[in-house]
Structure 1
Amino acid sequence: MNYEYEMSYALPDSVEGLLQRGRGLGAVRALRAPRESAAFVYDGIRRDWLWDQSDERSVYLARLVCDLDLSPMPVVNMLAGDEEACLRACGVLELLALAGSVEAKDGLRAYVRKGEHWVRVLERMSVGWPPEWWEDLGDVARVRMSAEAELPWHSEPWTRFGIAVQSQPLVPRPSLNGLSTAELLRLLSGSHTGDHTKIDALRALNARKPAEELIPLVPWLGMSNDLRPLPMLGRAVRRLGTLAVPAAHSWAQAERPWLALLGTEILADHPGPEALPGLVNELAEQWAAQDWCGPGQTARRLARFGPDAAGAVPYLRRFWLHTPHSYERTAYLQALAAISGDDGLEHIYTESLWDCQKTTRLLGITSAPTIPETLDRLAVLRDDPMETTEVRAAAGTRLAAPDGRLS
C-alpha cells in the first residue's frame, strides 16, 4: 500500500525515521535509548508505515518490544482499532506470545471472545500458534459465528470446530513431481493438455534444474484465451538465465502482447554493455524523483555488470539509506556487493542482522564479519521463537561453521 500522499516519514537518520523504515540501525540505536524510543516502537505498530504489502515489520517490531522490555498492553489496546490496525497489533502479539508473553496471549484470547474482528484474529492464531492455545475457544466461536452475517471462507479453525465454511475443500490434483523432465515437456507441448495440467507441469519444472528444451515451447504457453502467459512460465524462463536471451529477441517482436512483454523483460534482465549508461541514468532519475518502487529492479540489472557499474554505487547507497520501501533494500545490498565486492560493506551486513526484511537478515547472516557483535546476534536469531524458520536455520548453520563463516 503506497502512502506517498498521506504519510510523512521522519528523517532517515533519526531513530524515528529508521524505525519507520525498518532499518537495522534503528533497532540498534533504539536499544541504546529504550525510554526515548518506546513511543516510536508503539507508533510503528499503531500506524501503517509499510510502503507496500511486500514490506515486513511484525518480527522487527515484536523483537523491539521484547528487547526494550516494553509492556505489550498498549499493543493489546490497539486491537480495538479498525480491521487493519487490529491485524497489525495481532501480528505483533502472536509473536510476543510465542516468546512467552502471557499478556499478549491472554489479550488475543480475550479479543476472540468480545472483539469486532475476532474471525480474522482467530484464523491467524490457528495458523501461528500451537492448537492447545486456541482449541478451547470452540464454544465461543460457535456462539459468535451464529451471529455473523456470513460464514468464513477459510477452513481452519472452523472445520475443527464443526462450523460450516463458504469455500469447499479443494481436491488436490495428482502431483507431477514423479514425472521426468522429458515427460513434463511433452505435457507442455501437447495440444490437448489443459491449462491446469500445464501449470502443474511448470510448477514441477521450477523445482528442478532449468530445462533449455522449454525455450521453443514458450510461444505456445499462453492461457487458452492467449491473453496472458500461463502462471509459472515467467519464473521458468527467468531461471534459464542467458540461455533464453537469443529467443527473447524474437519474442519481443511478437504480435501477442504477453509474449512481447516477456521477451522485453528477459532482454532487460540481461542487458548488453551498451545498456550500462542508460541503466545508471535510470537509477539517477529514480533517485531524483524519489521513486521508491522500481529501483530495486534497476539495481538487479546493474549488478550483472559487476565493477563496470561503479557509477551506480552512490545512488545505491542513497537508496539503501533513505528508502521507506524495505523490500527493495535487499536488492541494493546485493548490487553493492556485486559491483564493489564485500569490502566496505561490513557495517551494512552487520546492521542487516537487525533489519525488518527476512531476505536482508539472511544476507547479514551469510556475510557479516565474524566479530563478537555478530556472533551474539546470530545466537539471538538462532534461538528466537519469533523468527522465521529459515532465519533460525541459517543463523544456526553460520554459528556451527568451523570458522564462523559460510562458504
Structure 2
Amino acid sequence: MSMIEYDSPASFRGQLQRGRGAAVHRASTVPGAADAVYECVITDTRWDRQFDQRDSYLAGLIARLDLPLAPIQQHLLTYDGEDAEPVELALQVLALLLMVGRLDAAAVLRGYAIDGPHWSMALEAIGDSGAMKLPAVWDGLADDIIANRDDAQLAQAIWCDTEPWTTFAQSQPRVRRIVDELKASRSPGPARRDTRPEIVAIDNEDLIGLVAAGGSGRRRALEELGRRGDRIVFDFAEDPGLRNAAGWLPGVQQALHHLGPDALPRARTWIGSGDDTLVAFGECVVAEVGDRGDAPVLLAALHRTVAAGEWCAAEVPARGLGRLGIREAASELVAAWEGTVHSLAREAFLDGLRGCAPHEAEAVVVEGLDDCEPMVQQRACEAAPDTAAVRSRLRELTADPLAPEVHEAANTKLQVLALSPGASHLRSTT
C-alpha cells in the first residue's frame, strides 16, 4: 500500500490526492492547483495501485485546466530508475489526453515509446487507451520501435495477445517471429474446466475430508458445504489450525453467505470472541443478513475500521448499515467518504450513506459524478438529484471519452429524469 503522506481531506491537495470529485469542483479557483495536479501525476498518490484508478481523473483535470505538459515530459526525461512504476501513471495520463484532443501529448508519448528506458510501458498505455487510432501516435511507430530494439529486448517486452503487439505482428516480420516463438514455447497448462459439477457429485463426508486435508480443493469444498446448508462450516470457521498464514480461511465467507440467516446465531457469538478472524466472519454475516438489533455492532465496527484506516474492512459495516437504514451512521460514513485514501472504498461508503440518510447523501452523490472511480460515478448517476447542473453533468458523461464505463448509467438516469413528473420544473441549484 502507498506510503504517501496525505494532506487533510478538507484541503484541495488532500482531495486531489484521494481522487475526489470535490477537487474537480475546486480546481479552477484554487491557487497552485496546477502544481498539485502535476505532483499527483508524477508521484502517484494511489493507496492501492492495483485497484484504485487515477489516469482518466487526472487527464480530465489537465484538459479542463488546459495545463501544459512540460512538467510531465521533464519527469519522463529525467527519471532513469530501473523500476517502471514511477512513470506508469504519467504515461497512462498522456495516452488518455490524446482521446480528448490534446494532440501535444502525442510527441511526448511517442518519443518515450521510441527512446524511453521503460518504452514497453508506453506501448502498453497506447494499446490500452485507444491511442492506436490516432495517426500522430501510430504512423510509423512500429518501424521506429523495431529499429531501436534487438530481438532479446523485443522478446522481453512482447505480450503475445495484447496490443499493440498483435497489430505490430501483422506488418513486422521480426515481431511475428518472436510472437510465434513465444507461443510455441508456452507449456500448455491443464485445460481450465468448471469444477462445480465434480463438487456437486461429492457427498458431504468426502467434502469434509477435503476441507480437513487442505490443498486446492478446500475452498470449493467449504463453499459447497455452505451451499448445502451444512452447519459444520461453523466448526471449520472456529478452527485456527485450518487458517492460512494471514489468519484467514478462504471459502468460509462464501459458505456463510450461502447459509444466510442460519449463520446469525453463531456469528453473533463470534463478534465477542476476541478472535480477530471470527470477529471479521461475524461482522460479515450480520452486515449481510442481520437486523436492526445488530446496529451497535456494525456502528462500532465502522468506527474502529475508519479510525484505524482499515478501508477495505470498513466497507463491510458501511454496506450493512446502509442495508438496515441506520440513521446514526450518517456522520461516520460522510467522514469515511471524505477521508479514505482507498478511492475504491468510496463505492461502499456511498451505498451505505444512501441507505442511511438519502437526503444527506445528495451532496456526496453530486460530488461522486466527478469521482476518479467509474463505479462511484455509476452509483452517483443512479441516485443523482434532479437539478439543472446535474442534468448538464449527466449529458457530459454520456459521451465523455474518459468515462466509457459511465455512459450507460448516465444515459439511463437522463431517461428516468425525462419521465419524472417534475421534469419541467427543475431546481436551479444542486
TM-score by length of 2: 0.72
Q: Is the 8 A contact 1:145 1:151 kept in 2?
A: no
Partner of 2:239: none
- Range with greater deviation from structure 2 (331-340 or 181-190): 181-190
Verify the 8 A CA contact 2:98 2:131 in the aligned structure 1: no
> For 2:159 and 2:17, how far apart are their aligned partners in 1?
32
Q: 2:396 aligns with which of 380, 384, 388?
A: 380
Work out the CA distance in 2 between the residues paired with 1:263 and 1:348.
30
Cα deviation, 1:2-25, whole Å, max 9, x if unaligned, reads 32xx5142x322222221221111
**Which of 409, 418, 421 matches 1:394?**
409
Correspondence for 1:242: 260
Instruction: Tell me, in whole angstroms, the C-alpha distance in 2 between the residues paired with 1:372 and 1:188.
Output: 60
What does residue 93 of structure 1 align with?
Answer: 94
Alpha-carbon distance change, 61 to 241 in structure 1, aligned in 2, over 3 angstroms: farther
Aligned AA (1:323): T
CA distance in 1, matches of 2:336, 2:267: 32
Distance 1:330 1:213, change over 3 A: closer
**Equivalent runs, 1:143-162 vs 2, <5 Å:** 143-146=148-151, 148=153, 151-152=156-157, 154-155=159-160, 156=162, 157-158=164-165, 160=169, 161-162=175-176
Matches within 5 A, 1:123-272: 123-129=124-130, 131-132=132-133, 134=138, 136-142=140-146, 143-146=148-151, 148=153, 151-152=156-157, 154-155=159-160, 156=162, 157-158=164-165, 160=169, 161-162=175-176, 163=178, 164-165=181-182, 168=186, 173=191, 185-186=200-201, 213-216=227-230, 233=251, 237=255, 240=258, 242=260, 245=263, 264=282, 266-270=284-288, 271=290
Structure 2 vs 1, CA of residues 110 and 345 (structure 1 numbering), >3 Å: closer, same or farther? same
- Structure 2 CA distance, aligned partners of 1:290 and 1:197? 34
Q: Is 2:365 aligned against 1:349?
A: yes
Unpaired runs of at least 5, structure 1: none
Give the partner amino acid of 1:41: V
Shift of 1:301: 3.0
Is the counterpart of residue 117 in structure 1 residue 132 in structure 2? no
Contact 2:6 2:17 in 1 (8 A): no
- Number of positions where the alignment pairs a residue of Structure 1 with one of Structure 2: 382
- Separation in 2, partners of 1:232, 1:353: 35
Offset of residue 56 of structure 1: 1.7
Q: Which runs of 5+ in 2 are unaligned?
A: 170-174, 237-241, 421-430
User: Which position in structure 1 is the counterpart of 2:2?
Assistant: 2
Paired residue for 2:331? 314
Deviations 1:253-277 (A, max 9, x none): xxxx9x9799656535444555432
Q: Could you tell me how far apart the structure 2 residues matched to 1:35 and 1:404 are?
A: 42
Task: State the Cα RMSD in Å.
Answer: 4.4
What's the CA shift for 1:241?
A: 7.3
The answer on whether the counterparts of 2:95 and 2:131 sit within 8 Å (CA) in structure 1 is no
Residue 326 of structure 1 is matched in structure 2 by: 343
- For residues 71-102 of structure 1, the C-alpha deviation after alignment (integer angstroms, 9 at most, x for no partner) is 23432333233422211101111111112221
Give the C-alpha shift of residue 52 in structure 1. Answer: 2.1
Q: Which amino acid aligns with 1:322?
A: G
What is the deviation of 1:353?
0.4
The match for 1:18 among 15, 18, 27 is 15
Contact 1:212 1:243 in 2 (8 A): no
- Residue of structure 1 in register with 2:64 after alignment: 67
> CA 1:171–1:262 in structure 2 vs 1: closer, same or farther (change >3 Å)?
farther
For residues 217 and 145 of structure 2, the distance between their equivalents in structure 1, rounded to whole angstroms, comes to: 39
Structure 1 CA distance for aligned equivalents of residues 299 and 281 of structure 2 = 22
Match of 2:301 among 260, 282, 300: 282
CA distance in 1 between counterparts of 2:228 and 2:144 reads: 53
Give 1:281-300 correspondences, 5 Å limit: 281-289=300-308, 292=311, 294-300=313-319
8 Å CA contact 1:22, 1:355 repeated in 2: yes
Quick one: structure 1 residues 128 and 265, their matched pair in 2 at CA, closer, same or farther if it must change by over 3 Å? Answer: same
* Residue identity opposite 1:334 in structure 2: D
Tell me by how many angstroms 1:197 deviates.
10
Query: Structure 1 vs Structure 2: percent identity of aligned residues?
Result: 26
Asked whether the 8 Å contact 1:58–1:91 carries over to 2, the reply is yes
Give yes or no for contact 1:330–1:359 (8 Å, CA) kept in 2: yes
How much does 1:151 deviate?
Answer: 2.0
Separation in structure 2 between the aligned mates of residue 334 and residue 111 of structure 1, nearest angstrom? 41
Paired with 1:84 and 1:136, the residues of 2 have a C-alpha distance of 27
More displaced 10-residue stretch of structure 1: 232-241 or 394-403: 232-241
Q: Which amino acid aligns with 1:378?
A: L
After superposition, where does 1:35-74 map in structure 2 within 5 Å?
Answer: 36-53=32-49, 54-74=51-71
Contact 2:226 2:254 (8 Å CA) reproduced: no
Distance in structure 2 (CA, Å) of the matches to 1:2 and 1:244: 39
How do 1:27-42 residues align onto structure 2 when only pairs under 5 Å count? Answer: 27-31=24-28, 33=29, 36-42=32-38
CA distance 1:330–1:66, change in 2 (3 Å): same
1:35 Cα deviation (Å)? 6.4
Q: 1:147 to 1:290 in 2, by over 3 A?
A: closer
Q: Secondary structure at the match of 1:294?
A: helix
Please list the CA deviations of residues 266-325 of structure 1 after superposition, one character each: whole Å capped at 9, or x if unmatched. Answer: 535444555432332333344544555532233223334323xx3322222222222222
Distance 1:85 1:52 in 2: 14
Deviations 1:30-76 (A, max 9, x none): 13x27642111111111221122332211111111111112234323
Amino acid at match of 1:385: P
Work out the CA distance in 2 between the residues paired with 1:135 and 1:168: 32
More helix by share: 2
Q: Which amino acid aligns with 2:297?
A: G
SS in 1 for 2:48: coil
Q: Distance in 2 between matches of 1:267 and 1:319?
A: 22
Residue type of the alignment partner of 1:76: Q
Query: Distance between the aligned counterparts of 2:57 and 2:359, measured in 1?
Result: 27
